[in-house]
Amino acid sequence: MSAIAKRVLAVMGAMLLLLIAASAAYYRSLDFLPFALGALLGVALNVVKVLMLDKTVNRAVQMEKARAGNYIRIQLFLRYVLTGLVFLAAALIPFINIWGAAIGVCTLQIALFFAKRLPDGKEVA
């Protein structure tokens, strides 16, 4: 796994804990659980997507150009299907808050932003 993927996963884990703590503080009862489960589902999806993307890049650089393009397109489509399935599950399962899932899905973009800017002694391109 690449260094940036590890940093992104660490930032997403921290953001998940922050989301759960914020929802627990907001609801001040066990009513925060549906939101927390939605956020957990969204962040879990992002973890899978980061791992898939890391594997896709590693495999695609070893392929010839035409095969690599098709492989990348298929993997992108699979990541979109997974995202759709998570939102469908969040919408249909009453104990999972869809807004929590939506915020959990957005953690990937936020984690990428912060992972590139965390101090580690070197700049990530």
CA 6 – CA 25 distance, rounded (Å): 29
Q: Is residue 92 part of a domain?
A: yes
Q: Is residue 121 part of a domain?
A: no
Extract the tokens encoding 111: 């984690």
Output the average pLDDT for the chain: 88
Q: Is residue 123 part of a domain?
A: no
Domain total in the chain: 1
Q: Is residue 122 part of a domain?
A: no
Q: How many CB atoms lie within 10 A of CB 70?
A: 12
pTM for this entry? 0.83
* pLDDT tens digits for range 12-32: 999 999 999 999 999 888 888
Residue 86 pLDDT greater than 50, yes or no: yes
Q: Is residue 74 part of a domain?
A: yes
CA 97 – CA 30 distance, rounded (Å): 13
Q: Is residue 124 part of a domain?
A: no
Q: What is the pLDDT of residue 3?
A: 80
Residue 118 pLDDT greater than 80, yes or no: no
Across 30-52, average pLDDT: 92
Q: Is residue 45 part of a domain?
A: yes
- Residue 64's domain spans which residues? 3-115
- pLDDT range class, residue 121, cuts 50, 70, 90: very low
